[in-house]
Structure 1
Amino acid sequence: MHALDLARWQFAVTTLYHFLFVPLTIGLSALVALLQTAWVRTGKEQYLRATKFWGKLFLINFAMGVVTGIVQEFQFGMNWSAYSRFVGDVFGAPLAIEGLLAFFLESTFLGLWIFGWDRLPKKAHLASIWLASIGTILSAYFILAANSWMQHPVGYRINPATHRAELTDIVAVLTNSTTLVTFPHTVAAAFLTSAVLMLCVCAWHLARGNEITVFRPSLRLALWAIVLSGAAVAVTGDVQGKIMTEQQPMKMAAAEALYETSQPASFSLFSIGPLDGSAETFAVRVPHVLSFLGKGDPNAAVEGINDVQRAYEQRFGPGNYKPYIPLTYWSFRLMIGLGLICVPLGLVGLWLTRRGRTPTSRVFWRAAGWSVALPLLANSFGWIFTETGRQPWTVFGILHTDDSVSPAVGAGGVITSLTVFTLLYGGLAVVEVFLLVRYAKAGPPQVPTGDERPAEDRPLAFAY
């Protein structure tokens, strides 16, 4: 394999691994803040115990996300120095804002939350977790602004002397139409992912009759979050699909393996046979759906791969502008299908827990337990579709992927770092799963009562 192929593999592995933790960090921080708000407002002990329990799982995940995120950014200098040189002035701006503003806000107030139990006033301590949660969401915004610029570059110019992209309008970059639709979709998916994790842990304990007073409120919170965030994922995903079709018509055509322009265009639930356009395939189709997904009109025409290829050749010059169609086709369906399965489960759970009931069905508990993998896989397939569907571009319409790789890094160096990172991440995965399972099974901590000692003499509550 060439250095380019290995570098792409390495970036894909580290990105997908890192993104397992990102949605959990975004969603759990807000869910923990909601539980602590309930405790401050009501004074009920079960909300305090739930806050500390879910807060511990959140902190384990947050620590792992920070470690993997730092390693991911190293690759821009290691394997993609040509890309970094070309777009550094533009791409680096939102990333710098994320580090200096959002991550600083997030880490500072998270530190206050960890060490502030019994040392800060209740409302000040509550404000710290809310500000940390806002920081995680802001971090997501600025990082998505950088990624969205790769999908739809705006607010720049190409310097003819240096042949580099230079920032001309930071507001245009931060208000990119791609960012404005990608951000709510990603945040909604993060809440869905975190809520399903909460559902899974609650199911394990409630099926065994453990700590019902603590886990039943968490279960209801998780179920409502699943239904609401699932609906938000569907709505924002629909809007994102229309923007994508306008900006990158090849990506939508590749999502359906649609080679010839169709009006109206149907959506295939699945296909059997080759997806390279060489032969007919058997497919179960839903009429008009692709037209609506792409254009908002069930009778609209959707451009096919062959027509878009010809248009791109006229616009960008000779070349192959088709992504790997089987990967885009199946990742698009797996993203949608795995994400939407969670919503019916949330609706069933809300029905089973109505009017103070606690479910007794083993089928429901088992389904809730196994569902934890669904949104994680959906997120991964979503990023696979987003990034591979843009190929052969690193920055759409400006910079090819094969022009972005580091010229001085050979295949041997990349495969060495890829092997090291894979082994390192494998070890971190074992540690992460071990810690999450151990503390999830341990249940919520006991909260001592009647402690009249001064706050400075009490043990720190973060060491539950």
Structure 2
Amino acid sequence: MMSEQLIDLSRLQFAVTAMYHFLFVPLTLGMVWILVIMESVYVMTGKVVYKDMTRFWGKLFGINFALGVTTGITMEFQFGTNWAYYSHYVGDIFGAPLAIEGLMAFFLESTFIGLFFFGWDRLSKPQHLLVTLLMAVGTNLSALWILIANGWMQNPVGAEFNYHTMRMELTDFWAVIFNPDAQAKFVHTVSAGYVTGAMFVLSISAWYLLKGRDVEFARKSFRIAAAFGLASACSVIVLGDESGYTVGEAQQTKLAALEAMWETEPAPASFTLIAAPNEATGRNDWEIKIPWVMGLIGTRSISKTIPGIHEIKEKNRERIISGIEAVKALATLRANPDDAQAKANLKAHEADLGFGFLLRKYVTDMNQVTPELIDRAVNDTIPRVTPMFWTFRLMVGIAFVMLALFAIAALTTVKGQCKHRPWLLKWALWSLPLPWIACELGWFVAEYGRQPWTIYGVLPTHMSVSTLSEASLYGSLSGFVAFYTVLLCVELYLMQRFARQGPGSLGTGRYLAEPSYH
């Protein structure tokens, strides 16, 4: 059995590296399609300002992409170093989409990024636009395969346990690819990236307009960002609703924790707008609810019920008791693979094997399990409700604030009034951090809400970690934090430097902050 400290440190290290990495990913996903839009307008109209827009915003995109790659590479190595048993147990399934991502998407986007920056004078306008489009496809394919892998962790389909190898093995590759959870997660995540890219361009363009510099360049950039951001923000909210439905289908525990839904309500369930969850008593001290909404989101019907936390815990208790028999049968088969009775017992209880593994946190011999240990394992199946509840609501609140901003910005650009609305420009400028905050909150909800599982219902987190010393984890965690913080500071410095220079950094002689203007 692993110590709690070792497990927590391993989780913290991966969480820190993932959160740092995800500071760079959304901007890459969003900026690249804005570049496609800008260059498409350039090819169609021949107006050089759109070429300059593509090159300038592309420069900021390139800085972000380089640092995103740097922070992402180490994460895949961590599966082998810090999560060795996880890699052994599910590597047959989980490794496939990651390998495809490296072979297909990463090399594709890397190749075309090089052509994007160095092909302006070597390719025709349509050829360079095709390069930009393929670069965008590559970045989104990269996200697709990674989110297919992550979606399988949330909803493990197309695989089964093989007691001969003591591993999960792939049985249906297409089920993994078309996993509803993975597809919903992909479209929701990339849409959040599009909002991030749009907000980045919108905020910096607003700063130029407030300063009264390079007004035409800034006004056109602001218009494109506002329109793209409005469409993306609407997509995030609509696709977030779809994600809520898939969570309701595959992870009812997460949905109940998000809603602080302690008791099962008659259908259709109410949406808890705000509440004060009390985890000690298993109820909300007070709450404000909106009738029907949660039932419609979580079930797409008015007749299906959504189970509450207490009902889920009782179901999990039954699965843990069944899982004990599966673990016992597995232990017998390890000693005697030909034991017919053990095979029959395992087959009867195999669906609950992961729930039996939850007790491995406390005992190695299932014959030593007590009712008290079962109670502890049952409580372990529910993530802490308070952080889930409030994190989700903060994320949704930010999404609606950004939707309002993009809607008003798009309306004012249609009327040609954006530069005459300083309050709007200031709102856009100070909203720059919002999409990053929302993205980080979203990943927290997705990953923390899956606990205590690395593979939902299959492999508990405490069984997934490598046998490492706490000292080595403290050392590597400190090293990652220091190194990634340096990279983040480098990114902020370079972004701020080139953003302040503006399109003058292109050296075309058409903008401010260029040598020809001094």
Question: TM-score scaled by structure 2?
Answer: 0.84
Q: Structure 1 pair 361/87, CA: closer, same or farther in 2 (3 Å)?
A: same
Mapped to 1, the partners of 2:16 and 2:180 lie a distance apart of: 28
Report the counterpart of residue 68 of structure 1 in structure 2.
71
Q: Which has the higher contact order (CA 8 A, sep 6+)?
A: 1
Quick one: distance in 2 between partners of 1:276 and 1:193? 38
> After the TM superposition, which of the residue ranges 92-101 and 277-286 deviates more from structure 2?
277-286
CA contact (8 A) 1:23 1:190 kept: yes
Match of 2:485 in 1: 426
After superposition, the Cα gap between the structure-2 partners of 1:335 and 1:166, relative to the gap in structure 1 and judged at 3 Å, is: same
Select 2:55's aligned residue among 52, 55, 59: 52
Counterpart-to-counterpart distance in 1, 2:391 and 2:456: 20
Amino acid at match of 2:202: L
Q: Report the identity percentage.
A: 43
Shift of 1:278: 4.3
Contact persistence 1:158–1:166 (CA under 8 A): yes
Aligned to 2:399: 339
Does structure 1 conserve the Cα–Cα contact (< 8 Å) formed by 2:276 and 2:287? yes
Deviation at 1:142, TM superposition (A): 0.5
Partner residue, 2:195: 192
Counterpart of 1:371 in structure 2 is 431
Matched-pair contact (CA < 8 Å) for 1:276–1:325: no
Given that 2:219 and 2:419 are in contact with CA atoms closer than 8 Å, whether structure 1 keeps it comes out as: no
Question: Do residues 395 (structure 1) and 455 (structure 2) align?
Answer: yes
Residue identity matched to 2:493: F
| Paired position in structure 2 for 1:270 | 274
Answering whether residue 166 of structure 2 is matched by residue 163 of structure 1, we say yes
8 A Cα contact 1:288 1:299, kept in partner:
no
* Residue number in structure 2 paired with 1:302: 306
- Kindly provide the amino acid, as one letter, of the partner of residue 404 in structure 2: P
Tell me the CA shift for residue 279 of structure 1: 5.5
Residue 361 of structure 1 is matched in structure 2 by: 421
Give the alignment's Cα RMSD to 1 decimal: 1.7
Take 2:402 and 2:101, find their aligned partners in 1: how far apart are those partners? 31
Q: Is the contact between residue 94 and residue 149 of structure 2 (CA under 8 Å) also seen in structure 1?
A: yes
Q: Deviations over 1:325-352 (max 9, x none)?
A: 1121112112211122101111111222
Q: CA deviation at 1:157?
A: 2.1
Unaligned runs of 5+ in 2: 322-373, 510-518
2:470 alignment counterpart: 411
Give the structure 2 partner of residue 385 of structure 1.
445
Q: Does 2:293 match 1:289?
A: yes
Task: State how far apart, in whole Å, the 1-side matches of 2:507 and 2:188 are.
Answer: 38
Residue 300 of structure 1 deviates from its aligned partner by 4.4
Counterparts of 1:256-267 in structure 2 under 5 Å?
Answer: 256-263=259-266, 264-267=268-271
Structure 1 residues 286 and 14: CA distance shift in structure 2, 3 A: same
Q: Deviations over 1:293-335 (max 9, x none)?
A: 2112356422110101111221243423111111211121122
Q: Distance in 2 between matches of 1:243 and 1:441?
A: 43
Deviations 1:422-450 (A, max 9, x none): 1111111111111111111111145649x
Question: What is the deviation of 1:268?
Answer: 2.5
Q: Secondary structure at the match of 1:26?
A: helix
Q: Which moved more, 1:311-320 or 1:337-346?
A: 311-320
* Deviation, structure 1 residue 276: 4.4
1:435 & 1:137 partners in 2: Cα distance?
A: 25
Counterpart residue type for residue 477 of structure 2: L
Alignment partner for residue 314 of structure 1, among 318, 321, 326? Answer: 318
For 1:379, the aligned partner's letter is C
CA contact (8 A) 1:289 1:298 kept: no
> What is the CA-CA distance between 1:275 and the residue it aligns to?
4.2
More helix per residue: 2
Asked if the contact 2:151–2:182 (Cα under 8 Å) also holds between the matched residues in 1, the reply is yes
Aligned residue type for 1:233 = V
CA displacement 1:63-102 (0-9 Å, x = unmatched):
0100000121121112111101111111000000000011
Q: Deviations over 1:11-57 (max 9, x none)?
A: 11111111111111111111112111111211112101111110011
CA distance in 2, matches of 1:248, 1:277: 23
1:384-415 deviation line (CA, Å, top 9, x unaligned): 01111111111011100000000x20211111
Match of 1:207 among 205, 210, 216: 210
Q: Which amino acid aligns with 1:145?
A: I
On the 8 A contact 2:453/2:460 being kept in 1, the answer is yes
Bigger Rg, structure 1 or 2: 2
Q: CA deviation at 1:274?
A: 2.9
Contact 1:245 1:295 in 2 (8 A): yes
> Do 2:409 and 2:418's aligned partners in 1 also have CA atoms closer than 8 Å?
no
Match of 2:131, SS? helix
Q: Secondary structure at the match of 1:120?
A: coil
Match of 1:284, as an amino acid? Answer: I
What is the TM-score when the length of structure 1 is the normalising length? 0.93
Decide whether aligned partners of structure 1 residues 152 and 219 sit closer, same or farther in structure 2, where only a CA change above 3 A counts.
Answer: same
Q: Which amino acid aligns with 2:500?
A: K
Q: How many residue pairs are counted as aligned between the two chains? A: 449
DSSP-derived class of the 2:218 partner: helix
Report the residue type matching 2:483 in the other structure.
L
- Partner of residue 152 from structure 1, selected from 155, 159, 162: 155
Contact between 1:4 and 1:405, CA under 8 Å: does it hold in 2?
Answer: yes
How far residue 359 of structure 1 moved from its aligned partner, in angstroms, is 3.1
Q: How does 1:244-259 map to 2 (within 5 A)?
A: 244-259=247-262
